[in-house]
Amino acid sequence: MLKKVCGDLVLRLEAETKEVPDGKKEIVLAWAKNGLECFKGDKPVCWLGYNYPVEIPLALGYLPFYPELAPGMLAGFNLSSGLVEMAETRFFNMFCCTFHRCSLGAASKGIWPKPAAILGLSNICDGQVKLLNLFGDMFGVTPLILETPLDIGEKDVNYLERQLRDLIPPLEDSSGQKFTEEKLKETIRISNRTRKALLRIDELRKHSPSPYHGASAMNGLYVLVTQLWGMPQTLDLLDNLIREIEENETRGISNGEKFRLLLMVTTPTYKTEIYNLLEKKMKANFVVAELTNVVWEEIDEQNPFQSLARKLISHPMAGSMDKRVDWALTTARDFNVDGVIHFSHWGCRQTSGGVGVLRKRIEDAGIPFMNLDVDLVDPRSFSWGQVSTRLEGFIEMLDQRKEL
Amino acid sequence: MFEEELTELGKVGLDLSDCILSENDRTIGWLCSYVPEEIIHASGFYPMRIRGRGDPIGRADGLLHNNLCPFVRSVMDDAVEGSLEYLSGVVFANSCDAMRRLHDAWSVFLENDMIYSLDPPKGVNGPAIAYYTDQLRDFAKALNRDSPEEINNRSLEQSIEVFNDTRMLMEKVAVLASNNSLSGHTLFNIAQMATRCRREEFNQRLARFLDTYSDEEPVKRGVRILLAGCIIDRPDQVRLVEDVGAHVVANELCSGSRQFDKMVRDDIDPYEALAERYILKAPCARMTNLKDRIDYLVRLAEENNVDGVVYYIVKFCDHYMWDYPNVRVAFQEKGIPVLDVEGDYMKGSFGPLQTRIQAFVESLE
């Protein structure tokens, strides 16, 4: 099923982008090509948990595959609910994350490419570790889980740095390739250049009106940051995208932006009318999104393991809410947003678990905040009537604030 | 507090009524069995395990999302209602997503004179023990800033001895339950009270109880059940299992026997010994060594010659929920029937589960 989705996407997007170049579509095309590559069996495939330091497996010749995130792509083709249902029947009830349940259904149905290695982090969510452990049993691969501390003191960084170094021998074994520092430096350079390009896009998005928004814009960056990170092809993709955004800005293309919004977590991965309502009807643009924002320092290629350890520990999505709140407040100010919309994914203890704290701290800072409880992968419980009413109400409130 | 539980224990000859911690004691609450009580004790505070009242969630509802573990939400509710104000401090642990969010919410919504959060590793290996050792030293230093007594190696070793005594005594109590001489809910009740009494006095009372307790006549018969899984912290919930013809001969609950597993060594640095014991003890589902956990569960079932296992999962607990498919297979491979039940932690929530448990017990008779 995934192979077919990737194949269809490649055919369609290759034709479309040949006719009319489109930086956003080219990102999705790159994702689909990588997906197809994973099924070929020429290179070892490494399954990675969200936010894993992909630079290390890339340096060892692995193809990355993100089993927690791939369900989002299936949802875009209305293929997620059946898999979620299947996992419910065979494994679990309704109460855990559907990204995970869908992935479990997909893996047990043989939809995902086979892993040579499985890598995860302990500080994103409990579900990631548990899901990867179950996958390990299914495929006879021992998952290598990084124990990621909460604090960022010297001892904490050293503890994680040592684990990152310890990854090398087992990853060499399962890829059959020798690790070299030079190769790691190469992937880190790509990672740093990608980061710089994203920072440029962020700078452009700070402009008013924002020259980069909309469903495909958000999805394109989301796919690039979360699933293509560190791969050489991302550099050209981002260069094209930056050029496109700059041209759009020069040509004054705008939807008449009235409201600037910060998107926390992400919008549903299946098709909805959210962007049409917000951006076309209400002129409210998501000008920055939590999952695509650069939130880490440049990686030091001379000290890569320590630098990657710092990146992992300091990530706002990981650990305590303080980091996430600080990021949201700083970003809201930097991007001059009128309000924050947080999508609480049902079953996600990590993001929705902290929404009470987030609301309090953001509202205390005088920034309007709205939380929407939705399932981001499984459309069965999605109620457009309720969601649209809440969104309209929130934007009307922002409008009244502007008038005051 | 805990009148009902104390009355029950009085009936079997264990009087703990005047050693239960009260609002007059300088007490630090803790929330996870990976928090070393010994360090709190060595500081001159009494450690006390916090439990939620299990009432319908009120004010905490807007503070912690309703898809988080109801135990955590129940504790938050109690805290915002003021019923934990008597505590001098609270020690959290980054045990799971929900517990971490409880700490986040507590830090924002409550007055916090003294709260501390530990980050116990999930891995079971030498570096994890060394890392936790460092954390425990830092924890002691932090406690020393506000504690009635200074923690030093000597005081810590003394506290370790006290808590090891409890472990030794609890092992004897567990044997009584396994031998049908004590009910499962009484065993569980005693385990609960250990974490809510002044510990030296508790040890004395329990030692006296064990000396005088007659184990000649079996007090409990029935289908032999191992109760495993997530947190349960009401003995009456264990009683509900026993009321349908079962005898809970052993439990694998963090609030029950699991917290007394494994002694702390007395021949190495006390912080290292504590870190080692807490990382190597019978594992919670939060740990990454699932195979060890499953081995432990199966061993416990076999050693106690159980007829079946009731595996309890608190709603929204990812750790126990995700482990269950593997746990079920492991028991099935050994020919041990297992029933999973899911509850929402609240008072009375076990009642509706009783019918399923009864059917399970009847199928084993």
In order along its 365 residues, chain B shows pLDDT tens digits of 788 999 999 999 999 999 999 989 999 999 999 999 999 999 999 999 999 988 899 999 889 999 999 999 999 999 999 999 999 999 999 999 999 999 999 999 998 779 999 999 999 999 999 999 999 999 999 999 988 889 999 999 999 999 999 999 999 999 999 999 999 999 999 999 999 999 999 999 999 999 999 877 777 788 999 999 999 988 988 999 999 999 999 999 999 999 999 999 999 999 999 999 999 999 999 998 889 999 999 999 999 999 999 999 999 999 999 999 899 999 999 999 999 999 888 888 878 889 999 999 999 98
Do residues A232 and A89 share a domain? no
Question: Which residues of B are less than 8 Å from A349 in CB distance?
Answer: 65, 67-69, 96-98, 101, 316, 318
Q: The domain spanning residue A393 has which CATH number? A: 3.40.50.11900
Domain final residue, candidates A180, A201, A228: A180
Tokens of A194: 């990608």
- The count of domains in chain B is 1
pLDDT (0 to 100) of residue A92: 65
Cα separation of B83 and B75, whole Å? 10
Q: Are B309 and B341 in contact (CB under 8 A)?
A: no
Q: Number of A to B CB contacts under 8 A, please give it.
A: 116
**Cα of A369 to nearest chain B Cα, Å:** 14
Domain final residue, candidates A133, A160, A180: A180
Do residues A162 and A218 share a domain? no
Q: Buried b vs exposed e over B154-172: b needs ≥16 C-beta within 10 Å?
A: ebbbebbebbbbbbebbee
B318 touches A: beta carbon within 8 Å: yes
Do residues A228 and A369 share a domain? yes
What average pLDDT does the segment A179-206 reach? 96
Tokens of A31: 């994702």
Sheet containing strand A144-146, edge to edge, reads: A63-65, A45-48, A117-121, A144-146
Question: Which residues of B are less than 8 Å from A167 in CB distance?
Answer: none
pLDDT band at A91 (very low <50, low <70, confident <90, very high): confident
- H or E stretch covering A227: helix A215-227
**Nearest to B183, CA basis, from B214, B211, B237, B221:** B221
pLDDT (0 to 100) of residue B327: 95
Q: What is the pLDDT of residues A256-288, one digit of tens each?
A: 999 999 999 999 999 999 999 999 999 999 999
Do residues A311 and A331 share a domain? yes
B131 touches A: beta carbon within 8 Å: yes
pLDDT (0 to 100) of residue B215: 76
B361 touches A: beta carbon within 8 Å: no
Beta strand spans in A179-331 (E): 259-264, 284-289
pLDDT band at A93 (very low <50, low <70, confident <90, very high): low
Do residues A91 and A208 share a domain? no
Do residues A100 and A135 share a domain? yes
Domain final residue, candidates A180, A204, A223: A180
Domain of residue A295 covers: 182-403
Do residues A224 and A170 share a domain? no
DSSP string, A306-340: HHHHHHHHH-TTSS-HHHHHHHHHHHHHHTT-SEE
| Cβ distance of B325 and A91 shorter than 8 Å | yes
Cα separation of B36 and B141, whole Å? 14
Do residues A239 and A373 share a domain? yes
**Cα of A60 to nearest chain B Cα, Å:** 25
Q: Report the residue of chain B nearest A158, measured CA to CA.
A: B131
Interface ipTM above 0.90? yes
**Nearest to B119, CA basis, from B230, B231, B32:** B32
In the predicted structure, residue A194 carries a pLDDT above the cut 70: yes
Do residues A167 and A250 share a domain? no
Residue B20 has what DSSP assignment?
B
- The count of domains in chain A is 2
Cα separation of A277 and A265, whole Å? 19
Per-residue HEC secondary structure of A101-149 comes to HHHHHHHHCCCCCCCCEEEEECCCCHHHHHHHHHHHHHHCCCCEEECCC
In the predicted structure, residue A176 carries a pLDDT above the cut 80: yes
The residue length of chain A stands at 404
Question: Which residues of A are less than 8 Å from B69 in CB distance?
Answer: 349
Cα separation of A300 and A151, whole Å? 20
B362 touches A: beta carbon within 8 Å: no
- Give yes or no for a cis peptide into A209 (omega within 30° of 0): yes
CB contact set of A236 (below 8 Å; sequence gap of 6+): none
pLDDT (0 to 100) of residue B146: 85
Q: The domain spanning residue B290 has which CATH number? A: 3.40.50.11900
